[in-house]
């Protein structure tokens, strides 16, 4: 039995249904870091793994609010403060009906290692609620955000824990959350990132995750001796913050993104996605992608119901590089086989853990350049940290300065990950490289800080 198998056995008992995604994230890390644990027994002596997989604390609270028909609504709110060895707790808030403690533990755990990879002084956290912003009026979203922050403000602070956005939480929600925080604490401070620019948000924070994923991919392709993305067909899933800005950056560098998707269906526009239309539909009107083909009847809309249950339409479309940017486990073994068969050479995870373990194994065994989420989508949280720096210094950085720093950060992460993989005998495996490099940084800090 390998060292990784032994470690995994220890955690198997607590593996309930809700914790499945958390367990999936943890298992990948444990297998990756086996060579590190074998190379130095200080990690075992200090019980780093046992300590790292248990959150420092989890807050769970009731959120009561009044809808537009004056009905009382009740949701559950959470904040998982996972690890602050490297800096204050940092990570997004997700508002989606599927949110539960297990999903937030998976996201918080990934966030620890992702934040470590940025090289910036930030720990890992995640939070959110089972509230569904879809179909709610602005006023209802505001009332929910106020009620959520009435409780959350007790646990956060600019030097304690700094939330940001994630699925269902963008500038609108962050604005309402900030307003309530200000009201209940009487203080005006950088307690949230992803704020609108007019009250302390960083330029380029909205673009950062998508742009960063493309910067990472360009560096990875260059290091692996592959052709660049220029002139190449790319497929992107999702139609939210990360997907829209990945598409935008791909277009800027001369690639041709031909797809996007939401929870109801996929758009395939072989001439290249109309980004202005997409932004109008998703950011302003907040409607289904089905509307896209009313303006562009030559594009194809494939509803989820018309595609076989074991796969997703986006990954059936031939491409040079794929960018899953929607949600966890959206790309499975069936999809991976489709991508590989159709000649895809590169997969970059814009979303958190969008590929199932089977898909990841298939990519690695077929020598696909595979950029795992905790490295490839770290641009969002990196620019969040830049926002914290600007707020603390009462400064404003220009768009170009943020962009330059984001690009450098993504290049450095990519190189560190590739180098670590090489050092531990798994050259070209960015999954192991990212897990080992991130874990080592946090673990060494935990050891230095004592128990």
262 binds, among ligand 2IT, ligand NDP, none (CB under 5 to 8 A by kind): ligand NDP
Name the active-site residue from 114, 126, 232, 282. Answer: 126
Structure tokens, 441: 């940084």
Among 84, 352, 391, 420, contact with ligand NDP (rule: CB under 6 A): 352
Binding mask 88-127 for ligand 2IT (x = CB under 6 A): --xxx------------------x--x-------------
Binding of residue 202 to ligand NDP (CB under 6 A) = no
Contact predicate 355/374, CB 8 Å = no
How many residues of this chain bind ligand NDP (CB under 6 A)?
25
- In sequence order, which ranges of 95-204 are alpha helices (DSSP H)? 101-117, 138-152, 171-185
- Bridge partners (DSSP) of residue 58 are 80
Binding of residue 212 to ligand NDP (CB under 6 A) = no
The burial class, CB within 10 Å (0-12 / 13-18 / 19+), for 290 is: middle
Task: Quote the CA–CA distance of 45 and 317 in Å, as a whole number.
Answer: 49
Binding of residue 384 to ligand 2IT (CB under 6 A) = yes
167 binds, among ligand NDP, ligand 2IT, none (CB under 5 to 8 A by kind): ligand NDP
Binding of residue 402 to ligand NDP (CB under 6 A) = no
263 binds, among ligand NDP, ligand 2IT, none (CB under 5 to 8 A by kind): ligand NDP
Q: Which residue has the tokens 């194809």?
A: 300
Structure tokens, 197: 């620019």
| Nearer residue to ligand 2IT within complex by CB, 30 or 388 | 388
Residue 422 appears among annotated catalytic residues? no
Binding of residue 166 to ligand 2IT (CB under 6 A) = yes
Binding of residue 124 to ligand NDP (CB under 6 A) = no
Q: Using the rule CB under 6 A, give the single segment among 86-94, 288-296, 407-415, 424-432 that binds ligand 2IT.
A: 86-94
- Bridge partners (DSSP) of residue 301 are 267
Which string of DSSP letters, residue by residue, matches 31-62?
A: HHHHHHHHH-THHHHTTHHHHHTS-SEEEEEE
Among 242, 299, 402, 434, contact with ligand NDP (rule: CB under 6 A): 242
Which string of DSSP letters, residue by residue, matches 206-275?
A: HHHHHHHHHHHHHHHHHHTT---STT-EEEEE--SHHHHHHHHHHHHTT-EE-EEE-SSEEEE-TT---H
Q: Using the rule CB under 6 A, give the single segment among 85-93, 142-150, 230-238, 415-423 that binds ligand 2IT.
A: 85-93
Among 327, 352, 356, 429, contact with ligand 2IT (rule: CB under 6 A): 352
CA neighbours within 13 Å on the CB side: how many for 192?
A: 30
Q: Would you please indicate which residues are annotated as catalytic (active-site) residues? A: 126
């Amino acid at each position: 039995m390998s060292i990784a198998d032994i470690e995994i056995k220890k955690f198997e008992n607590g593996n309930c249904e809700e914790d499945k995604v958390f367990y999936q994230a943890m298992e990948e890390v444990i297998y990756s870091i086996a060579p590190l644990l074998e190379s130095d027994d200080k990690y075992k002596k200090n019980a780093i793994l046992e300590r790292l997989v248990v959150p420092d604390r989890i807050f769970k609270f009731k959120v009561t609010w009044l809808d537009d028909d004056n009905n009382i609504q009740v949701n559950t709110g959470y904040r998982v403060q996972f690890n602050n060895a490297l800096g204050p707790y940092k990570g997004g808030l997700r508002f989606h009906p599927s949110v539960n403690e297990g999903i937030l533990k998976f996201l918080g755990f990934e966030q620890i290692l992702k934040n470590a990879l940025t090289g910036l002084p930030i720990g890992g956290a995640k939070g959110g609620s089972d509230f569904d912003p879809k179909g709610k009026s602005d006023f209802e979203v505001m009332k929910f955000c106020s009620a959520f922050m009435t409780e959350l403000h007790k646990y956060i602070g600019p030097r304690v824990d700094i939330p940001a956005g994630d699925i269902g939480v963008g500038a609108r929600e962050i604005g309402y959350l900030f307003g309530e925080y200000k009201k209940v604490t009487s203080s005006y401070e950088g307690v949230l990132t992803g704020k609108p620019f007019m009250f302390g948000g960083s330029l380029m924070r909205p673009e950062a995750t998508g742009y960063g994923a493309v910067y990472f991919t360009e560096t990875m392709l260059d290091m692996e001796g592959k052709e660049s993305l220029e002139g190449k067909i790319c497929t992107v899933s999702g139609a939210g913050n990360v997907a829209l800005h990945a598409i935008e950056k791909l277009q800027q560098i001369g690639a041709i993104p031909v797809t996007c998707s939401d929870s109801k269906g996929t758009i395939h526009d072989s001439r290249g996605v109309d980004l202005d239309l997409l932004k109008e539909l998703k950011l302003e009107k907040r409607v289904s992608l089905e509307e896209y083909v009313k303006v562009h009847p030559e594009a194809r809309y494939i509803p989820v119901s018309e595609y076989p249950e074991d796969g997703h339409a986006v990954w059936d479309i031939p491409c040079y590089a794929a960018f899953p940017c929607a949600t966890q486990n959206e790309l499975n073994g069936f999809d991976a086989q489709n991508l590989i068969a159709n000649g895809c050479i590169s997969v970059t995870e814009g979303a958190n853990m969008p590929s199932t373990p089977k898909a990841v194994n298939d990519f690695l065994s077929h020598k696909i350049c595979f950029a795992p989420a905790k490295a490839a989508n770290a641009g969002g949280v990196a620019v969040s940290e830049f926002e914290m720096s600007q707020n603390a210094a009462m400064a404003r950085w220009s768009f170009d300065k943020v962009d330059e720093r984001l690009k450098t950060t993504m290049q450095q992460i990519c190189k560190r990950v590739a180098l670590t993989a090489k050092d531990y005998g798994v050259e070209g495996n960015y999954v192991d490289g990212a897990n080992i490099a991130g874990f080592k940084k946090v673990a060494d800090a935990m050891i230095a800080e004592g128990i």
